[in-house]
Structures are given as structure tokens and as C-alpha cells.
Amino acid sequence: MLIVAALGGNALLRRGEPLTAENQRANVKRAAAPLAGLITAGHSLVITHGNGPQVGLLALETAGVDGADLPLDVLGAETEGMIGYMIEQELAGILQGSRFGTLLTLVKVNADDPAFRKPTKFIGPVYTEETARTLAAKRGWQVAPDGDKWRRVVASPAPQAIMEAEVISLLVKQGVTVICTGGGGIPVVERDDGSLQGIEAVIDKDAASALLAEQLDADMLLLLTDVDAVYADFGTPNARPLARLDPTGVREDQFPAGSMRPKVMAAARFSKKIGRRAAIGRLEDASAIVAGEKGTVFTTAAVRAPD
């Protein structure tokens, strides 16, 4: 079975942890074991991942160097390569003799996407409100509250096409486990002459992963995070996990904004459009989720989401 597995940011950096190479390696090492389990079970795997903390911190660092104020598309490419390298290295250490490849991935977006007028994607470290507003005034950022902290926000346009999908498919057919579309991929827009140009944005990783799974005609989309399932009435005494959801009955307003809503909408989109399973659950439970024993599974035969 061909599975597109998307790693949430918790697989690389837990909230509040310093963004050090040691912390990232330790978290990637923990993430590699359940992914290796899927490969050992005989599944073909395409792995995607987030990069919000990394791209934001790199932008902050380069802004302090004369002549090194790099645009987000270039920083996205840098972090995609860095994180892909770490994932590839850890997997190769577990599954010696297997073949892995990290591929920088261009993702086309619409230059007129309304997201460019209303940035919502959190990137970089968390700050107090005072520090965030000071940095915003100094660097020309837009900032917004993220829980009890504040962070930088940037445009997050909807992905339109994964430009390397055909190459990824060829690699998969040759038995290569591909790590790609990191951080939602490198955002590009099409010029009048048909060429592609990078643009200041960070694409939602889950939306890009769903589109990738669609273009690859994958058997399953697996969105892995630090929560065991999607919950109804999340954050209330009546909270309860949902084992099954019908993608045709899912609405955005049924789930809290933030990390879970884009996952739910991405899973619903893939399952509804392709007619195959998507699932959301804890990284450590990856094999059990694929087996249908844990997590939240999206299928057209499932119950509808609660109103």
C-alpha cells in the first residue's frame, strides 16, 4: 500500500523546546521508529513534514546579517533539505540497505490567493506580546496570538500543484522511500511565460500532503501528530474521540482553528475526492492507525461529524 505520511511539527520540535540540532535529532529519532515499522510491514512510504519553527528562526537569524535577508521560498528550501537529511539519516540507520531520497519540492500557488492579504500561518519561535510587537515594528512583520504566546504570521496560500509529483512517483516505483514537500513545499507562482518564480509564503503542510497523495494516487493519507484522535467538543468536559468520520459531512466550523482544523479538512478532501482512507492520530500509533485500530479514520462509509 502506498501511504503519504505527514509528520506534525511535534515530530521535530516540541512546543517550548529550544530549536537546537540536538533536540531536533532526538525528536526525529523518535519519529523514525514508527515510520520504519510501516516500511518493514511492506508499505511504500512518502514522508512529508512541517517546518514552521525552523523557517521562522532561520528568517530571524538571516535578518541580522547584512545582505542575507533571504526570502521565505529560499529559507523553505533550506529547511526542507535540513529536515529531510535528518529524517533520512535516522531511517537509514534503522533500515540499513533500504533506499531513501530527500527531494526539494516546488508547489505552485495562485498569486491572487486571498491568503496573501490575510496572513495566518504561524512560523518561528513564540514570544510575549510585547516582544512580538517590538519585533513586528522593527522588521515589518505581522504577528498574532498563538495560545498564550505570540508568533509571526505569514501568508499560507492553497497549494495548486505539486510540481515534482511525477518524479516522486518514479522514485516510489523503484522502491525508494521519498521525503518531500517539507513545510508544504517551496511556494512558486507561474509567470506569464510559463516559468516559475518563488514567492513569500509558507504553504500548509497538511493541505500540500493531501494534494500530493491525490496526485500520486496514494492508497492512504496519514496525518501524524501528538493527539490520539480527532475529538468532538474538544476542550470541554464532553470531549470524546471520533473513531470514524464521513468526509462528505465535515465542515470547518465543527473543529477548533489551529493545528487540528487544517488536518481535518485535508483528510476530508483526500478521502472525499479519491474515495480512499485518510487518518489522523498519534505518531507512535502509526501502524495501529493503518490497521484501523486507533486514530480517526475518514471514509465515505463512516458516520457524519456531529453538528
pLDDT band at 164 (very low <50, low <70, confident <90, very high): very high
> Is residue 272 among the annotated active site residues?
no
* 307, pLDDT greater than 60: no
Which residues are CB-neighbours of 29 under 8 A, at least 6 positions away? 90
pLDDT in tens, 136-160: 998 888 999 988 899 889 999 999 9
Q: Please state the length of the chain.
A: 307
- Averaged pLDDT for residues 89-109: 96
CA distance 37 to 78: 28
At 306 the pLDDT is 43
* pLDDT over 50 at 2, yes or no: yes
Instruction: Look at 23 and 181; give whichever has higher pLDDT.
Output: 181
Three-class SS of residue 230?
A: strand
The most confident of the ranges 15-24, 121-130, 142-151 is 142-151
53 closest CA partner among 127, 104, 105, 118: 127
Under 8 Å between Cβ of 226 and 17: no
Q: What is the pLDDT of residue 23?
A: 83
Give the burial class of 89: count Cβ atoms within 10 A of its Cβ; 0-12 exposed, 13-18 middle, 19 or more buried.
Answer: middle
What pLDDT, on a 0 to 100 scale, did the predictor assign at position 10? 60
Q: What is the distance between the alpha carbons of residues 78 and 58, in angstroms, rounded to a whole number?
A: 9
Nearest to 171 by CA among 304, 295, 47: 47
138 as an active site residue: the answer is: no
Residue type, 157: P
Whether the Cβ atoms of residue 217 and residue 270 lie closer than 8 Å to each other: no
**Residue 205 known to be catalytic:** yes
State the DSSP H helix or E strand holding residue 53, giving kind and residue range, or none if neither. Answer: helix 52-63
Catalytic annotation, pick one of 205, 281, 294, 295: 205
Assigned C-alpha cell, 279 = 487518518
Q: Is 294 a catalytic residue?
A: no
Active site residue 9: yes
| Distance, CA of 159 to CA of 96 (rounded, Å) | 34
Q: pLDDT of 74-93, one tens digit each?
A: 988 998 998 999 999 999 99
Amino acid at 219: D
In angstroms, the CA 199 to CA 237 distance is 43
* pLDDT class of 295 with cuts at 50, 70, 90: very high
Q: Which three cell numbers stand for residue 24?
A: 531536533
pLDDT single digits (tens) 186-243: 999 999 999 999 998 989 999 999 999 999 999 999 999 988 999 988 778 888 999 9
Could you tell me the three cell numbers for 67?
545582505
By CB atoms closer than 10 A (0-12, 13-18, 19+), residue 192 is: exposed
Query: What pLDDT is stored for residue 60 in this prediction?
Result: 66
* Residues 238, 253: Cα–Cα separation, whole Å: 18
Please work out, in degrees rounded to the nearest 5, the angle formed at the alpha carbon of residue 101 by the alpha carbons of 85 and 202.
60
Q: Which of 27, 108, 121, 295 is catalytic?
A: 121
Q: Which one is catalytic: 51, 108, 263, 294?
A: 263
